[in-house]
Amino acid sequence: MSYNNIEKYYEEKKHDRVLKEFTPMAQECTEQHILRLFLRSANIIGKKVYDIVNEELMKSDLDYMYNRFIHEKEFPKASGIKILNMILSNDRKDILDEFILMYMEKYEESPVFESLYEYVINNKNKEIIMDYVNSVEVSKENVYFNLVKLILNGKDPVPFLEKSASPEISIASYEHFLKDRELTSETFKKFESGTKFKNEMFVLFENDLYKIEKFEFESRIFHLKDKLGRKKQVNYSVVAEKTNPIEKDDFRVYKFFKPEEARDIEPCRLVTMILKYKNSALDKTQLKDELVYIFGKDASSYITKNKKNLEQCEAIEIIYEKPERFMLSLEEGNLISNKIKRMKTISQVKEYLLIAMKNREIEEDDRERIISHIEMIKDKHKNEILHLVTGDDKYAEAAEPEELKNATYMKFIFDALMKKFAKENISEEDFEIIERLDVSHIEKMYLSLSKENIRIFTEFTQKAFRLAKNLKMIEWYLSYHVSESLQEMDPDYILLRSIMISNDVYAMKKTDEYLNFIRKFLFDPKKEKFLELVKTTNYDTGKRIFDEFMRTLYLNDYQKDEIRRQIYSFRPDYRDYKISDFMLSSQKSIKRKQEEFADITEKTLPKLSKTIQEAAALGDLSENSEYKFAREQYRLFSLRAEELKSKLSKVEPIDFASIKGDKVEAGTVVTIIIKSENREKTYNVLGIFDVDVDNDIISYKSPLVQKILGMKKNEENEEYKILDIKKFKED
């Protein structure tokens, strides 16, 4: 007969029919799934069948062992506990209560197991559970079970908690999480977590590490101290609900509180602590950055000196790539599949696997277990994880658009699109998915396309520039094809549209990703990409691009002034001021004033604004001296910023290379005779920001220099005679 009928009868709960039809063929069957249904039906009816199925095939199966437990008189107690743990780990609530009752009958005692109190709390059969609770005798050390026992029997647990290792914390936790609340697994776990806090312990609270100095029971207050010695008082409930105690050997404790003690820790253990705290693989540089807190400048040599020791450390794996990486070894039996089999949803599996596989390969046997578990989960988005684990393209090919839109694994998205494009099939929906890729993947995809698909790809890219959508496509084109024409769009127009789109994106506050790209790609001062591109444009198009650039608000004035001045050097007609307003200064002084302007606008004014707001919040502004002082300071610094901005917009660096030293001008050293005083004087003639009277540095705009500007050696007028002129030597 067909095995499908066995499944059908089992689902219809016709267990006697399953036994009747399948018993004749049970001995020959090698399909574990069918045998398991057969055993379950037998267990429900209470029939002995373990002796007619393949023992080698099923000996580790829970339902097989349960059938033996029911029918074998001399069944080992240790094996009984093993069955109990299997029932709990596999969440087999259908047989749990019955098993415990049979266990108590068979061995004349109640089983005591690791998650005993969880079983008691979660069990809904009050009659059975109360009989069981009161029959179990456990040691006084089992605080949690004894506490549950008291609560279920309606007794006050406080006298019991007063005898615990840390009574004040335990009572506070009971009052906060359990008192007058329903006893559930969730509330009890919160209580259990809340009892773990003790004096001299460390907690990670609000992103800072704190040491618990003491607990005030009367006020339920923790006294905390941070790494800088600053103290804070926090209510018990806030600490207990928002954080967990840090383990005593957590590297952060040594890093911030006990660096000197850490120097005595054995290298293997110290590096293992760092890897546990970071929860990822670290290369040598990243490891050194952590060890700097302990060994300072000797951190790098510490790793080199202990290289052999670390190589022999069983807790650490060192992967010899460039750069070499350090990671925690996978303990024996701690297979990835063991953790995954407890996860019920694809999102849980995905989140864990993306971290676990980041730095580690999965063993073949473990891989098969993982694939088997994932296949059992009913979720249409599991192709991504199966592709991640196996690398098999069939899963990428089977992916639906919705799954790709929600995918996070870039290689999966890339492989799925490559499979689709190989069939000459590109749609507008695909370009929404392409937005999930980085620009290097898009370029790789583009280079592999057929001529027809390249045409479609190009059309969508052109549309992206025109409609300001699919911004990742724009990033890709600028990164790899910025100097090429895009059908009727020439490179100049592409550059213009890119900046226009960035201004629109900033105005709409849509995304920082595209703006960050434009900042780095076009306006990074080290690359000078924008300047190179503007130089290739004709005058009119370049002016449109320059004007659009000047409208950008996501660059500060300092950055814009730098770029603008450089553009003026090869396109002087782009200046937006009269030649009479034009000013000069040394590059060094210009930079100093730019930094002053940036400091005022980015630090001083925001800080004063915050002070004004805080002072205003105190009320009664007429008597608030701090408020008045901050307002006055804000006004003065604002005026200074406006003055600097105006001058910086019109100043350009002195071109010392073009100065010959044959006439008086900015960038020369001039010796004169002042006729009215009949004395000789030497001045350094520089720009508006360079003036330093004490060192005889004056501006070419000063009244004195304006009277001798352009004069040569031995020339004179009514007030001055030029004795000598030479070039100013830059630092």
Other Cβ atoms less than 10 A from the Cβ of 610: the count is 11
Instruction: Look at the block and give the residue holding tokens 């290379």.
Output: 657
Residue ranges of alpha helices (H) inside 422-450 are 428-434, 439-447
pLDDT score recorded for residue 577: 53
C-alpha 113/C-alpha 84 separation (Å) is 8
pLDDT at 721: 93
> pTM, whole model, 2 decimals?
0.43
Distance CA 104, CA 95 (A): 14
Q: Give residue 360's pLDDT.
A: 59
Residue of 713, 681, 710, 687 lying closest to 700 (CA atoms): 687
Tokens of 438: 């980085």
Q: How far is CA 52 from the centre of its chain?
A: 56
* pLDDT tens per residue across span 54-88: 888 898 899 999 999 999 988 998 888 888 888 87
Closest of 267, 279, 272, 273 to residue 254, by C-alpha? 273
Please, which residues bridge with residue 205 across strands?
208
- The 8-class DSSP code of residue 716 comes to B
Question: Which parts of the chain sit beneath pLDDT 50?
Answer: 1, 331-334, 578-579
CA-to-CA separations, 310 to 270, 288, 317, 644, 652, in angstroms, rounded = 10, 14, 9, 57, 58
| pLDDT recorded at residue 376 | 80
Peptide bond before residue 572 is cis, with ω within 30 degrees of 0: no
DSSP assignments along 10-29, one per residue? HHTT-HHHHHHHHGGGTTT-
| Residue 250 to residue 142: CA distance in whole angstroms | 27
Burial class, 390, CB count within 10 angstroms (exposed 0-12 / middle 13-18 / buried 19+): middle
Contacts of 359 (CB under 8 A, 6+ apart): 280, 281, 319, 325, 327
Q: Cα separations (Å) of 436 from 364, 411, 440?
A: 30, 11, 12
In which residue are the tokens 């409930």 written?
237
Separation of alpha carbons 434 and 288, rounded Å: 38
Q: Which of 304, 331, 310, 298 has its CA nearest to residue 266?
A: 310
pLDDT tens-digit map of 226-248: 888 889 999 999 888 888 888 77
